Amino acid sequence: MTKPNFDEKIDRIGTHSAKWDALETRYGLSPDDGISMWVADMEFKPPQSVLDALGGMVDHGVFGYYGDQTSYLESITRWMQKRHNWTVDPSWIFTTHGLVNGTALCLQTYTEPGDGVILFTPVYHVFSRLIADNNRRLVESPLVESDGRYEMDLDALESQLTGSEKMVIFCSPHNPGGRVWRTQELKAVCDFCIKHDLILVSDEIHHDLVFDGNQHTVMSLVTPEISKHLIMMTAATKTFNMAGGHSGNVIIEDPDLREMFSATMKAMGMSPNSFGVVMTEAAYNGGEQWLGELIPYLDENRRVFDAGINAIPGLRSMELEATYLAWVDFSGTGMTPDAFTDRVQKTARIATNYGPTFGAGGDNFLRFNLACQKAVVEEALARLTAAFSDK
């Protein structure tokens, strides 16, 4: 494999990139001068195997319906076995148009309008939007910060329950904050869902982006009893930077839960998008070395970013155990969220995700995407240091 060059700057302006081409309309920033550190995709090309597979499709030139998923499903089961020690039967796997779509399908399959759906907040902001758009009731269980890391408070959550809660949507590893949940924490979540008869949707889209010294445990492996409650969600799109391929795996071991999900898929007329499926197979089969190069690169960006941020009085970056999504606490500045956001956006000219959109506990935070060239991280730090120089 030729070594990927993650330092290579790739111009994405004018390519229908949500991250860059919406910079002006969403943030009032010129893409020529602004730094886009919001939405979670990377500034890197995917593994060569993915580019070759897509190139092969273009050379062939006929883009008909996708059929015979055998090799695609095998690529997923092999990856889960090798990387996550998780034995998956191909018949458990459903292909959705990404995991936002997968989450929406879960809400529609396993809950009714008005049912309570639990989130540990702050968490990936689209979950709460889906809950609202599907007319379900959001139940927020605020994470508690302890020694700079998020922890769940299941006793507090238990006292909030009304009996109409039907589902937990869980993010593992956690976005934002990058927690890799320890096995005993996952076991406590499983026990909670079993005790209260809740469906547990475990979104593990970030499970390949884990830094050395941390061990991700697939929820399915925590305890066999959880299988009657568990919907697993994984994807190659975040790992290998191909989110535009909109392809995700919803993996369900329990036959009854599987039958219910299958009925929803049928009712919605869902079938796979061949580009996403071909990319996924090529990434799982040929992308492992690329991923081996990526993780240390992201780790170095995280180290540089944290050192720079923590040197600015009043700012603190939560130490990531996984993901490339830095979560920065501005409460030490004594500024209001509007004021510090203005400084970051208007003075430093950096687009981030706003903390309050992630739910309770996010007010004093901004989320920065570090999956970019290291030089861009350094430029962002220089701008932030100057913007907060009076603190």
Ligand X SMILES: Cc1ncc(COP(=O)(O)O)c(C=O)c1O
Residues that bind ligand X (CB under 6 A): 40, 98-100, 124, 171, 175, 203, 205, 235, 237, 243, 248
Residues whose CB is less than 8 angstroms from the CB of residue 87 and which lie 6 or more positions away in sequence, other chains included? 77, 80, 81
Give the CB-nearest residue to ligand X. 98
Would you say 116 or 248 has its CB closer to ligand X? 248
> CB 357 → ligand X: shortest distance, Å?
12
Q: Report how far Cα 123 is from the mean position of its chain's Cα atoms.
A: 10
Would you say 320 or 387 has its CB closer to ligand X? 320
> CB 39 → ligand X: shortest distance, Å?
7
> CB 326 → ligand X: shortest distance, Å?
14
Would you say 157 or 243 has its CB closer to ligand X? 243
> CB 217 → ligand X: shortest distance, Å?
17
Q: How many CB atoms lie within 10 A of CB 98?
A: 21
> CB 204 → ligand X: shortest distance, Å?
8
Structure tokens at 201: 């949707």
Would you say 241 or 333 has its CB closer to ligand X? 241
Would you say 216 or 349 has its CB closer to ligand X? 216
> CB 361 → ligand X: shortest distance, Å?
16
User: Among 384, 364, 372, 355, which residue's Cα sits nearest to residue 175?
Assistant: 355
3-state secondary structure the chain: CCCCCCCCCCCCCCCCCHHHHCHHHHHCCCCCCCEECCCCCCCCCCCHHHHHHHHHHHHHCCCCCCCCCHHHHHHHHHHHHHHHCCCCCHHHEEEECCHHHHHHHHHHHHCCCCCEEEEEECCCCHHHHHHHHCCCEEEEEECEEECCEEECCHHHHHHHCCCCEEEEEEECCCCCCCCCCCHHHHHHHHHHHHHCCCEEEEECCCCCCECCCCCCCCHHHCCHHHHHCEEEEECCCCCCCCHHHCCEEEECCCHHHHHHHHHHHHHCCCCCCHHHHHHHHHHHHHCHHHHHHHHHHHHHHHHHHHHHHHCCCCCEECCCCECCEEEEECHHHCCCHHHHHHHHHHHCCEECEEHHHHCCCCCCEEEEECCCCHHHHHHHHHHHHHHCCCC
> CB 230 → ligand X: shortest distance, Å?
17
> CB 233 → ligand X: shortest distance, Å?
8
Cα angle, residue 326 at apex, residues 323 and 218 outer, rounded to 5°: 25
Would you say 133 or 197 has its CB closer to ligand X? 133
> CB 12 → ligand X: shortest distance, Å?
17
Structure tokens at 238: 């975040």
Decide if 302 contacts 377 (C-beta within 8 A). no
Would you say 175 or 285 has its CB closer to ligand X? 175
Would you say 29 or 205 has its CB closer to ligand X? 205
Would you say 207 or 343 has its CB closer to ligand X? 207
Residue 8, beta-bridge partner list: none
> CB 344 → ligand X: shortest distance, Å?
20
Structure tokens at 154: 């299941």
Would you say 93 or 205 has its CB closer to ligand X? 205
